Amino acid sequence: MPAEGAVSTERAAPDRRGAEAAAPPSTGGVNRPPVGGADLTQAERDRILAKAALFAPPPATLPDGRRDLIGLSREELEAEMVAIGEKPFRARQLWHWIYHQGERDFARMPTIAKPMQAKLAERFAVGRPEVAADQLSADTTRKFLFRFSDGQQVETVYIPDLHEERGAVCISTQVGCTLSCRFCHTGTQKLVRNLGAAEIVGQFMAARDAYGEWPSPKDGTPRLLSNIVVMGMGEPLYNYENTAKALRIIMDHEGIGLSRRRITLSTSGVVPMMDRCGAELQVNLAVSLHAVTDELRDEIVPLNRKYPIAELIAACRRYPGASNARRITFEYVMLRGVNDSEAEAHELVRLIKGIPAKVNLIPFNPWPGAPYQASKPEQVKRFAEIVMQAGYSSPIRRPRGRDILAACGQLKTESERARKARVA
């Protein structure tokens, strides 16, 4: 449940739930790593990955013992073919049927001979998450509640463009989140577990099913589900391996073939993994900044205690491929009287000086028990003007799907961590 009462003026305990968040409160102060990277080592990345493994998804096997082929890399799919005595090139055919055509039934894959179709059907399945709920907002935003084989659930949102035939699918990477950002509904839900690659890809594929968008449109032709924003439930860089694997599958040219330029991953600032994401995936990066001083950011984005603003901005400066054509998005949720002053707007542009960036101002989306109020529209405008005058585009995000709690920061499911779950 959300924290009781109004916003605390004290420093909250770094991690209100004891999982992955901020550094322990040392001798009364905030335990900050030195700026410049002592903590940005492989060891730190290994620690994050080891923790992620504690929340690993269940194996992708159906109750009848068949293996779900969704979520396997090309190499793994080849290995599965070899393991059943087939030639590795079969994997390429399957890949085409599964990810390009969207076919789930082996019997409808005519380039595969009948006996092999039967053999595949005995051992494998092409899965999807179950649609547990499907809600349509008055503004055409559509929210899916997807249920996975172990009963865990996440929300996925499709946000159609209001003017053109395209739209973004907002996908989740975790059931719950370990990071208790104060303004975020998901942050009030404990981390139950990470999603597997199959479950991440599966959200996009199931959303495409709902619109019948198969086969995958060719590069350059319009798509209804044209973009992906990794901005749903959870912190993608705390589930890096599965998220990266899923995005590679989605980007593969012989399958879904969505360009990395159409994918934006949002992080609350897991600095060591930002470097890896930049080196390996080169998708667009969005950074949830939300405050311009460590004092405030420590409070509203508790991960800041571990990776403070200077570290975060330095990682943005290092992010490969950042250019005017591929700008980093800084997300800034406008909280009335908390982070929305003109002085803060000036400090924001000072902080990001020199980074090819845009600043996305997000009106705060309320949820039951939320401890903040949205900034007044005039204040948001003033803030936006200051940012714009400094040469940065500063769009004010139009809230979508609020009537069905589908807007940014409103997602939450009933999934609870089982009593005996492995807690870090």
Binding site for ligand SAH (CB under 6 A): 181, 183-184, 231, 235, 266-268, 288, 331, 333, 362, 364-365, 408-409
From ligand SF4, ligand SAH, none, which one binds at residue 331 (CB under 5 to 8 Å depending on kind)?
ligand SAH
Looking at the DSSP bridge assignments, the partners of residue 405 are none
Q: Closer to ligand SF4 at the Cβ: 141 or 188?
A: 188
Q: What is the CA radius of gyration of the chain?
A: 22
Report in angstroms how near the CB of residue 69 gets to ligand SAH at its nearest.
28
Known catalytic residue: 408?
yes
* Known catalytic membership, residue 155: yes
HSE (side-chain half, CA atoms, 13 Å) at 285: 34
375 touches, from ligand SF4, ligand SAH, none (C-beta below 5 to 8 Å by class):
none
Stretch 381-410 residues interacting with ligand SF4 (CB under 6 A): none
335 DSSP 8-state letter:
B
Q: At what angle do helices 271-280 and 240-251 cross, to 10 degrees?
A: 20
Which residue in the shown chain puts its C-beta closest to ligand SAH? 409
Binding of residue 370 to ligand SF4 (CB under 6 A): no
Cβ proximity to ligand SF4: between 152 and 180 the closer is 180
C-beta of 137 vs 186, nearer to ligand SF4: 186
Q: Whole-number minimum distance, CB 175 to ligand SF4, in Å?
A: 11
Residue whose beta carbon is closest to ligand SF4: 187
Closer Cβ to ligand SF4, 331 or 340, answer by number:
331
| Catalytic residue (choose from 155, 199, 299, 311) | 155
Binding partner of residue 333 among ligand SAH, ligand SF4, none, CB cut-off 5 to 8 Å per kind: ligand SAH
User: Is 186 near ligand SF4 (CB under 6 A)?
Assistant: yes
For residue 260, the minimal CB distance to ligand SAH (Å) is 18
With contacts defined by CB under 6 A, name the span among 161-169, 180-188, 305-313, 413-421 that binds ligand SF4.
180-188
Site membership for ligand SF4, residue 256 (CB under 6 A): no
* 153-160/357-363 β-pairing: unpaired
Is residue 298 a contact residue for ligand SF4 (CB under 6 A)?
Answer: no
Report the half-sphere exposure of 327 (CA within 13 A, side-chain side). Answer: 17
Question: Looking at beta carbons only, is 4 or 64 nearer to ligand SAH?
Answer: 4
Nearer CB in complex with ligand SF4: 97/144: 144
Regarding 184 and contact with ligand SF4 (CB under 6 A), the answer is yes
157 forms bridges with which residues in the sheet?
143, 170
Which residues carry out catalysis? 155, 408
